[in-house]
């Protein structure tokens, strides 16, 4: 007999697909890791499982251990919401998900999925709860999305501070986010017999890129190129001054720490974020900005030409991977990630937006 006892056992071990149509004539061979085949529909299942299990052990930033019948929380408007909700459903753990107002676009399927798994989903606190009206407007003018994101993180931080049975997982700073994604790198290494010449993906927290590259490093593999991708005009955690940046031409967002300090989110002013760890480790070599239109066009091609029903981040990842494949030429392997399924963006279709 061959069966599993929990859906958590179905997390990971995803296929690696060679793009024979989109990759035709580019030079290097182009591969995608099909992370959208994870149970809740995205790569985030890996990190959600790792962070929850760390909380169960007490491996948290403040040493708090997740008790039986306890609750985990975080703020999200993306794939973390359904992934965390899925893991908690399998483990009989309560989950509270706070959602940022500006990212509630259309009829949000992602939040419906999270609710279906049993999570308590609510709108996160607004910036004005922690800032003066003048401060709030100034920060929103500088980076509207990030202003709401940090307010959402304050919401989760307060939940933990005010309730002894609640643990804030804090995906942006939690090392188990990237440690939980190292297995992506191990699987890719085995699937290509260690022949990886370039790897890159969209960067939000930075955990997928960092975890994968650290796994490569542990196996003695140094790809010729590592790259990150961010949405044009919405670089949340990174600052880029042009569409393609080499090292020393991109840096961590300065506004994030200023917002955290202004709102009183002390943890974010005293600890290293995953982005900080990623940059200190020397990743990536290059950063690219991709427009929503470019990401959407490639996501549409991936669906109609390769049969991959994926979202905008996957389209952005492959759009940049094509550029890298052209540069490296024949005999090289370029790898990126198919992040999630497109069904979770049906409420936005056909105006799906590339966000991280």
Cis bond upstream, residue 340 (ω within 30):
no
In-domain check, residue 331? yes
Residue 289: strand, helix, or coil: strand
Among 168, 192, 211, identify where a domain stops: 168
* Together in a domain, 210 and 256: yes
Tokens 């900080």 -> residue: 276
Q: Give the confidence band of 128 by pLDDT, cuts at 50, 70, 90.
A: very high
Average pLDDT, the chain: 94
Among 141, 168, 195, identify where a domain stops: 168
CATH number for position 259 = 3.40.50.1100
In-domain check, residue 350? no
| pTM score | 0.96
CA angle, 349 then 350 then 352, to 5°: 65
In-domain check, residue 277? yes
- Judge whether 172 and 205 are in contact, CB under 8 Å: yes
* Together in a domain, 94 and 188: no
The domain of 218 spans: 7-37+180-345
Among 168, 203, 226, identify where a domain stops: 168
* Together in a domain, 58 and 120: yes
Residue 91 has pLDDT above 80, yes or no: yes
Of 187 and 102, more confident: 187
C-alpha torsion sign, points 80, 83, 89, 91: negative
* Together in a domain, 73 and 26: no
First to last CA, the chain: 41
In-domain check, residue 1? no
In-domain check, residue 175? no
Domain count, the chain: 2
* Together in a domain, 270 and 331: yes
* Together in a domain, 149 and 206: no
* Together in a domain, 100 and 141: yes
In-domain check, residue 351? no
Residues 55-86 pLDDT 10s: 999 999 999 999 988 999 999 878 999 999 99
Of 106 and 194, more confident: 194
Cis bond upstream, residue 347 (ω within 30):
no
Q: In this structure, are strands 166-168 and 120-123 parallel, antiparallel, or unpaired? A: unpaired
Of 75 and 344, more confident: 75
In-domain check, residue 352? no
Residues 237-287 pLDDT 10s: 888 889 999 998 998 888 999 999 999 999 999 999 999 999 999 999 999
In-domain check, residue 354? no
* Element (DSSP H or E) covering residue 175: helix 175-179
* Together in a domain, 11 and 55: no
* Together in a domain, 27 and 55: no
* Together in a domain, 249 and 184: yes
Burial class, 343, CB count within 10 angstroms (exposed 0-12 / middle 13-18 / buried 19+): middle
CA dist 138 and 93 (Å) reads 39
CA dist 147 and 39 (Å) reads 32
* Together in a domain, 11 and 145: no
* Together in a domain, 84 and 142: yes
């Amino acid at each position: 007999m061959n069966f599993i006892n929990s859906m958590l056992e179905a997390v990971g071990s995803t296929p690696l697909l060679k793009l024979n149509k989109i990759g035709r004539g580019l030079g290097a061979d182009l591969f995608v890791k099909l992370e959208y085949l994870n149970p809740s529909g995205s790569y985030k299942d890996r990190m959600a499982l790792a962070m929850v299990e760390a909380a169960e052990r007490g491996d948290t930033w403040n040493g708090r251990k997740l008790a039986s019948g306890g609750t985990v929380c975080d703020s999200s408007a993306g794939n973390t919401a359904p992934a965390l909700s899925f893991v908690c459903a399998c483990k009989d753990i309560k989950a509270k998900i706070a959602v940022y107002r500006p990212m509630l676009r259309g009829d949000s399927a992602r939040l419906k999925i999270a609710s279906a798994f049993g999570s308590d989903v609510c709108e996160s606190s607004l910036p004005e709860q922690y800032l003066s009206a003048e401060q709030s407007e100034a920060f929103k003018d500088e980076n509207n999305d990030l202003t709401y994101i940090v307010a959402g993180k304050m919401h989760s931080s307060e939940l933990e501070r005010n309730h002894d049975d609640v643990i804030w997982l804090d995906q942006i700073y939690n090392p188990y986010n990237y440690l939980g994604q190292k297995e992506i790198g191990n699987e890719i290494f085995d699937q290509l017999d260690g022949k990886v010449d370039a790897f890159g993906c969209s960067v939000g927290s930075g955990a997928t890129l960092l975890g994968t590259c650290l796994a490569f490093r542990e196996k003695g593999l140094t790809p010729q190129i590592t790259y990150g991708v961010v949405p044009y005009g919405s670089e949340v955690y990174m600052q880029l001054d042009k569409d393609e940046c080499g090292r020393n031409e991109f840096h961590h967002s300065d506004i994030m720490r200023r917002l955290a300090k202004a709102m009183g989110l002390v943890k974010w002013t005293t600890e290293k974020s995953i982005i900080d760890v990623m940059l200190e480790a020397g990743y990536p070599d290059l950063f690219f900005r991709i427009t929503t239109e470019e990401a959407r066009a490639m996501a549409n091609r991936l669906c109609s030409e390769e049969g991959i029903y994926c979202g905008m981040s996957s389209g952005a990842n492959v759009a940049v991977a094509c550029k890298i494949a052209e540069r490296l030429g024949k005999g090289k392997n370029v790898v990126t990630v198919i992040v999630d399924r497109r069904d979770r963006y049906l409420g936005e279709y056909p105006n799906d937006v590339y966000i991280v």
